[in-house]
Structure 1
Amino acid sequence: MCPLKPVTHVIFDMDGLLLDTERLYTEATQIIASEYNKVYTWEIKVQCMGMKGAMAAQLIIDSLELPLTVDQYLKKIISQYDSLFPNANILPGAEKLVRHLHKHNIPIAIASGGAQDSFELKTTNHKEFVSLFSHVVLASTDPEVENGKPAPDVFLICAKRFPDSPNPDQCLVFEDAPNGVEAGVKAGMQVVMVPDPRLAQEKTKGSSQVLKSLEDFKPELFGLPTYDD
């Protein structure tokens, strides 16, 4: 672990970090895999987390040897998302942290590997919560994001879009996936990781801090305002 340094801006991943959508992605993918008597394993899922949609689709098709093109797969998976994503819930500690930072005028944003249409579905019941963020960058549909995680593009572009365009080392990233941690580190940012408990410990390397839950985060360790209570 690296020494923790003060930051002025905070960037959040969304899937599996702010919202419990990772279980919904798994459910949707397994429904399709089951059509071909295949199992979407945890090992495959870890590789996909944070990727752009088309890249993740190709990895799943190749790993499970599905007789589908990327376009065919995406059409199938999107129909599953339409029914599942509106059920997404906010994960423990996320709302408290986001509202705390917003209250203290700390600039916050979302940088996700997802797409605009799925983002709208996931946030169906959380519009007010999402409105607290300065902006949202969605790698799969943002024309300025050439490469998805683990490339640093989405985080660098997200930082640039803050009104004061902070340097990367002024930004703290929150992530749950190895691809996202790698992207944040490549961007020159500190990364707090909140991994799935099934994730092997060696997959957390590169992060500045590893937490079991956002409930365990102590803002003052990064020079951010301490919780009032």
Structure 2
Amino acid sequence: MAQLKTDFPPIRACICDMDGLLINSEDIITQSTNQLQKYSRPTLTLSVRAQLMGIPDSTNGEVFHNWAKLPISREQFARESKEQMHMLFLSCEPLPGAEKLLSNLSRARSASPGDRIELPLASSTKSHSLS
């Protein structure tokens, strides 16, 4: 029987994907997009939402606009959507367990004496949406 490998190198970093791990940004983007109702358009369907997930600026693309058939320009929708997302991100709460995970990781040390584990953040969400 083969031995399991146990001599792994020390952990130096843990990359966290913000979207769906730390916060539920997809729900925020969906809420923002559902402002279409004021233009007598339907709410975002699960199938369209799935096609847009993980794609930066997806509500400015062909898939979204071919589905939405908005009575306003893409530029106007982008401005309105940006404002709405900014407001929603201001009140965004971490997902359950996210704070504990980050707290535990920030206190952890790598095998090198005193070196902290780096915690970079990954996201396909545009940074202006988060500020």
TM-score of the alignment, normalized to the shorter chain, above 0.5: yes
Of 121, 124, 127 in structure 2, the residue corresponding to residue 110 of structure 1 is 121
Higher relative contact order, structure no. (Cα contacts within 8 Å, ≥ 6 residues apart): 2
Distance 2:17 2:72 in 1: 29
How high is the TM-score relative to the length of structure 2? 0.74
4+ long deviations beyond 6 Å: none
- The amino acid that maps onto 2:59 is A
Alignment partner, residue 29 of structure 2 = 25
Which amino acid in structure 2 is aligned with residue 109 of structure 1?
Answer: P
Q: Give aligned pairs, total.
A: 115
What TM-score do you get using the length of structure 1 for normalisation?
0.45
Deviation at 1:17, TM superposition (A): 1.8
In the TM superposition, 1:78-157 aligns within 5 A as 78-104=82-108, 105-120=116-131
Residue 32 of structure 2: SS of its match in structure 1? helix
After TM superposition, give the deviation of residue 82 of structure 1 in Å.
2.9
Of 51, 71, 77, 1:73 maps to 77
Larger strand proportion of the pair: 1
- The structural deviation recorded for 1:93 is 1.2
Q: What's the offset of the Cα at 1:90?
A: 0.5
Q: CA deviation at 1:19?
A: 1.2
CA RMSD of aligned residues (A): 2.2
Structure 2: which 5+ runs fail to align?
1-5, 109-115
Distance in structure 2 (CA, Å) of the matches to 1:39 and 1:119? 23
Q: 1:63 aligns with which of 61, 67, 76?
A: 67
Q: Write out per-residue CA displacement over residues 172-201 of structure 1, whole angstroms, 9 at most, x where no aligned residue.
A: xxxxxxxxxxxxxxxxxxxxxxxxxxxxxx
1:57 Cα deviation after fit: 2.3
1:52 and 2:52 are equivalent in the alignment: no
**Secondary structure in 2 aligned to 1:108?**
coil
Determine which of 13, 18, 21 is the counterpart of 1:14.
18
Q: Which moved more, 1:73-82 or 1:28-37?
A: 28-37
| Contact 2:28 2:88 survives alignment (8 Å) | yes
Q: Structure 2: how far apart are the matches of 1:67 and 1:11?
A: 41
Partners in 1 of 2:91 and 2:79 — Cα distance?
Answer: 20
Which of these two proteins has the greater Rg computed from alpha carbons? 2
CA-to-aligned-CA distance 1:75-101 (integer Å, 9 cap, x gap): 120121232221100001111111111
Structure 1 unaligned runs (5+)?
121-229
Aligned partners of 1:39 and 1:64 also within 8 Å: no
